[in-house]
Chains A and B, each alone.
Chain A
Amino acid sequence: MSTFNNVTGLLPKGARNDGAGSTAGGGPGGAASQPGRRPPRPNNLVTSPGLRRAAGRLLTAVGVVWAAATFTFLIQALLPGDRATLLLNQLAGQVQQRTAAELAPINAKYGFDDPLIVQYFRFLADLATGNLGVSYQLHKPVTEVIGDQVGPTIGLTFASLLVAWLISAVVIVGTARRSRAVSSVASGLEAVAAGLPQYWLGVILLVVFALNLGWFPVVGGSGLAGLVLPALTLGIPLAGFLGQVTRTEFEKGMDQPFALSARMRGMGDTGVRLRHVLRHSVLPGVTLSGWALGSLFSGAVIAESIFSRPGLGKVLVTAVNSRDLPVVCGIVILIAAIYVLANLLVDIAYTLIDPRLKNS
């Protein structure tokens, strides 16, 4: 829920960045692929900006992943408490000190007593070759840990996004620029929905629809019926945000000449709303979705724990608690990659929704 609160601060920045990215072709890669400072000649225009843009994208992506991995590594390694002690205590359920004799084999096995810089470069070298390591706790390759758990989380993420879009589109089309009362009630509800704490909402949904009405299973598991309530838990607050950013645009759109001309051509109110104004007003929502995709993915843990779903969120929390560095890094890197990918998708969606951006 606190992550959602950031969205108003993030949104304009994200929108600007993505706009700039899709028009100017990416800062970091530009200089490398184009030695001359002058504006390129007309015949270069066909290939160069595309390449530059791709290279820039790639560099940014690698940079983001590297930064995320480094940050995670340092945090995990530098926090108080000793990793070998933690492994031993976790195995015995105790919280005590450990003797040097007990610690030595663990330190030797994982290289905890090497200088930090050595550990860091070993970590980076492994990462570069795609080796995410083996979990300290599960004794299992991290790729396998992630592979086992990523499916339900992806499912939940997209289901939540879909739920959020459906709710907000229906509410907007149905209520924006209707009577003052309808419009402001709907707008108020959006604000409330956006502020709902996911944990609280999840428990309420669980108690009402699973425990009392019995419409859905209490223990969600990985089945389809078990997906509905978790998706609503994450989707409803997001729908509030989407509604808020879309509503303003939608109301502006209703006053635009194109809406007026469509009406004059004899198109009905619903047709105008659905076919012209809605399409016009979804751009900020699409930007928000790029961010929301990453946020839903990393915030899935709330729904996962209330509805007892498997998934990466829960694995991440457990791994952080037991300072299982390889697993934490693996998941953080994956989430960073998803943010990068989601922003790329947002760019593509922009050009599809608003073809003018392709030529600008």
Chain B
Amino acid sequence: MTNRQPAYQPSTTDPSRSRLRNGLSVIGRSDLRTNGGKGAGRRAASAAALLGVLALTACGSGSGGSAGAAAGEKVDGGTIRYAHLQEPPCIYGGWVQQAYLSRQVLDSLVSQTEDGSIVPWLAEEWSVSEDQLTWTFKLKEGVKFTDGTPVDAQAVSDNFEYWTGGGNGTVQAYIQEYYESSKAVDASTLEVKLSAPYSPLLSALSQGYFGIQSAAALKERTEQQNCEAPIGSGPFTVGDWKRGESVTFQQNPDYNSAPQNAKHQGPAYVDSVVWSFVQDNTSRFGSLASGESDAIGEVPTVDFETAKPQFQVQQYITPGRPVTLSLNTVEGPFTDTKVRQAFAYSADRKAVVDSAFLGVVPFEPNGTVSQSTPGYNAEIAGEYPFDQAKANALLDEAGWTERNADGIRTKDGQELAIDIVFGLNSIVTTEGATALQNLQEQVKPVGFKVNLLPVTQADLFGGAYSTPDSYDAQLGYWTSPTAGILYINFRQNTAKNPNYANTAFYNNAEIEDLILKANSAPSTEEANTFYAQAQQRLSDEAVAVGLYTQTSTVATSQNLQDVWLEASQGEPVFHDAYFTE
């Protein structure tokens, strides 16, 4: 299968906006038609498909992120039974798995919409000083945390102090280098001082990690209480958490602070959400099929085609760093740019991904920023097509000219062996592992020998594979609503100011300069121009080889309407959801 075309053809030319719409698309009639030839058609005879067709004809114009299915009578109240994949140790934290949960109970200052613009949430309006160092947020009045304390400027300022004081490592990765101080000018006016201009600030603030908690609760309650039931001003409060089974979220009857992009203001329509943790894919999808759940997250790829005609399926392509191979640029064969480029050319990565994910999860050619991110550089998508001739030529130039009996290239008696480390079932799904196995086969003819090293969560998170001597390539992702993720991943790693999130160990002052220029740009448009240039340079250097996008999916039964996936990280939102009869 030689594919000399650019491996991924974007459907439109405007990179950020249309891609975002793609990112948060409702799988509706048109998708069904395009996929009909592949697999869905085979099941067309089933009664379920017939049901699906009926439902789909009813869903004409799904606006925003949700499909309105059969028009039934809206009923107030009820309990949404939602089945989710992973159960994190605490509700609030710095992992996207925690943001899924904390989004239900915490409000953030601002919200990001599907087209990448920022709309009011707890902050009604905001402004930034001429020198871009002082941000002033005007807070909504009359909003209370569910412990009765007011959501005022002091409380928000206390949250900034809590995060940057070690309360949330992911928040620190975004703003630690920029945040200087914050203070309450008056009860509803917050002033945040930065040490340098930081254009992605608002996007960053829209994420679940930046959810505002009751300052009193943070101060006065135990670590265990804040872990199990953080107190915010959100649409739900944390009820009973039966570990290993489910968390119940109770409706907050006084909720009056929904983001502007919510579908309604005021309390949630439903009384509660029982959020259960169902790790097994068969069981999770089965619980929806059998009617035990009203909605499920992480629709298994094998069930995707079955699900589409029967349920309302939404897929959200997460912005930020896609699932990508960071190549070790300081030790081993990938220190040579030509070898890195050859590696990128040597596999039909689109085929690798499509066959592993059955076409459900899109291929991402860009190794540094995913296609749904505002500021995505779509032009570099075609830069490393599958081209064995080029790969061979580059390896010859790099001096890997000999081949041993197994066809592996050698240089000075050394094999061209690549150790790829990945956290199976913690960072990478089994489908992701299949993609890697495909890749392993694909790069063989060119003379690469790939060793796949699936490592345990404890070893991986414990840092056993975090140093330059421990891998040649590492598969990972980092969801983020902004191309400013480049700053986190490619800020230089120096002895004085280490940046261990730079997993390619790639230090390049010019590229860092471009990223810093973007961070300091006066507008998002200008920032994105610089981010695009940085992506171009990183692509030229082939420091990261893109594979696929991190996605978030939700499937809901036909009688549950208006569940939507928010745009910063794809967390399901149940505040607007209601049942029909």
Contacts and interface: CB of A to CB of B under 8 A. Distances in A.
Interface string B255-297: 0000000000000000000001111101100110110110000
Contact of B283 (A92, A138, A308, A321): A308
A292 interface: no
A304 B464 CA distance: 30
Interface string A301-317: 00011111111001100
A88 B97 CA distance: 15
Which interface residue of B242, B293, B458, B478 has the most chain A CB atoms within 10 A?
A: B458
Given A89-B463, A206-B286, A322 B244 contact: no
B244 A309 contact: yes
A90 interface: yes
A320 interface: yes
A188 interface: no
A86 interface: yes
Contacts of B476: 94-95
Contacts of B500: 96-99
A82 interface: yes
A139 interface: yes
A310 B459 CA distance: 25
Contacts of A139: 90, 222-224, 227
Interface stretch (B105-113, B165-173, B523-531): B165-173
B96 interface: yes
Given A219-B293, A306-B280, A310-B245, A91 B169 contact: yes
Contact of B224 (A80, A90, A138, A309): A138
A85 B461 contact: yes
A94 B372 CA distance: 21
B322 interface: no
Interface size class of B (residues with CB under 8 A): 35 or more
A94 B500 CA distance: 10
A149 B290 contact: no
B95 A81 contact: no
A93 B170 CA distance: 8
A97 B89 contact: no
Interface stretch (A25-33, A210-218, A260-268, A334-342): A210-218
Interface size class of A (residues with CB under 8 A): 35 or more
A221 B244 CA distance: 9
Interface string B140-181: 000000000000000000000000001011100100000000
Contact of A206 (B283, B461, B478): B283
Contacts of A219: 83, 276, 278, 283, 287, 292-293
Nearest to B427: A95
Nearest to B462: A81
B501 interface: yes
B404 interface: no
Contacts of B438: none
Interface string B446-467: 0000000000111111111111
Contact of B465 (A92, A95, A206, A320): A95
A80 B462 CA distance: 8
A95 B276 CA distance: 27
Nearest to B245: A310
B425 to A, nearest CB: 9
A87 B31 CA distance: 42
Nearest to A90: B461
Interface string A90-123: 1111111111001001000000000000000000
Interface of B: 83, 87, 89-90, 93-97, 166, 168-170, 173, 222-224, 227-228, 242-246, 276-280, 282-283, 286-287, 289-290, 292-293, 423, 426-427, 456-467, 474, 476, 478, 498, 500-501, 503
Interface of A: 79-83, 85-86, 88-99, 102, 105, 135, 137-140, 145, 148-149, 203, 206-207, 210-211, 214, 217-219, 221-222, 304-311, 314-315, 318, 320-323
Given A90-B95, A219-B292, A309-B244, 4 more contacts: A203-B282, A305-B280, A307-B280, A311-B244
11 contacts: A79-B458, A85-B462, A89-B461, A91-B94, A139-B227, A140-B228, A211-B286, A218-B287, A307-B280, A310-B244, A321-B457
